[in-house]
Amino acid sequence: MKAFQVQTYDTPPTHCAVNAPVPAEGEVLLNIEACGLNFADLLMAKGTYQDTPSPPFTLGMEVCGTVLALGNGVSTPEIGTRVAVFGGQGGLAEQGVFPANLCREVPAEMSSPDAAGFQVAYGTSHLALTRRAKLQAGETLLVMGAAGGVGLTAVEIGKAMGATVIGVARGAEKMAVAKAAGADHVIDASADITAEVRALGGADVVYDPVGGDAFKAAMRATNREGRMITIGFASGDVPQIPANHLLVKNITVIGFYWGGYLKFDPTSLTDSMGELMDWYVQGRLKPHVSHTLPLEQAADALELLRSRKSTGKVVVTP
């Protein structure tokens, strides 16, 4: 079968012909219909992500596909069921094996590209805002990178939870995408973010997948007893937090890594995904997939992320 693999960290990922996998105990074999890309895929290709496997390996962290075969000890999901699953790798291929207990049946109303790009982005924002930040209705949520893969879902979920949402995005096109997703106010990333957020009353919760100067600007605009969630560092700059500033305004900085729950509380992820899929069926969430490309253009799909030319999700369809 065809797969898009990292052979070494020093060379770009490449298309390969590999043997089709066989499901081991506790696994299912999927015919992969769609694979959602994430910023973490870029880091994995360089060997700098916290959960990078040893080469060679197939990129692609989250997929939607149809069950073709079951490993020993697996009775569900049944063969022929369309499921979504976060496997951490293996998605940029025609077939793949994934843990059966992490598979979730996809509603008939949800397309495979929507399902493939749904899990990490929506799951991250949902757990971060509900479990970690405990966002309350009536609070003001500031979302950095508000037109990106996770940022856009934070805008949607924040609105669904009753918050006033301020989205920060770069350029008129991306600002319009954030506005269309439900942001009450949008700010250009090139503007004086601190001043503009303060003029809107400040932020009670900050959702930051960007880091760097954006994090610093957001901290200055955070209200007393505000909560700042660090999701990632797309800017490439991990900010150093001055602890004395936290004391002055009683600010809490919260770390959040969605994939970490796979190791210590996977049930929280599947429960969260169940609620989110219910919201999707109810029409409360409308995933934004800006680009859908075939497997042959996997490198182009990753470049869209690297160059920040995408909004929402980029999906590859093997």
Domain 121-259 CATH (choose: 3.40.50.720, 1.10.10.10, 3.40.50.880, 3.20.20.140): 3.40.50.720
In order, the DSSP letters of 9-70 are TTS--EEEE-PPP---TTEEEEEEEEEE--HHHHHHHHT-STTPPPSSEE--SEEEEEEEEE
269 confidence band (pLDDT: 50, 70, 90): confident
| Alpha carbon distance 46, 175 (integer Å) | 30
Class of residue 158 by CB neighbours under 10 A (exposed 0-12, middle 13-18, buried 19+): buried
User: Where are the chain's structural domains?
Assistant: 2-118+287-317, 121-259
27-58 burial by CB neighbour count: b if 16+ within 10 A, else e?
bbbbebbbbbbbbbbbbbbeeebeebeebebb
Taking the domain 2-118+287-317, which CATH number applies? 3.90.180.10
Decide if 212 contacts 232 (C-beta within 8 A): no
Among 64-73, 135-144, 265-274, 307-316, whose mean pLDDT is lowest?
Answer: 265-274
Query: How far is residue 3's CA from residue 211's CA, in Å, rounded to a whole number?
Result: 33
pLDDT in tens, 178-199: 999 999 999 999 999 999 999 9
pLDDT in tens, 197-254: 999 999 999 999 999 999 999 999 999 999 999 998 988 899 999 899 899 999 999 9
Q: Give pTM, 2 decimals.
A: 0.85
Average pLDDT over residues 14-23: 96
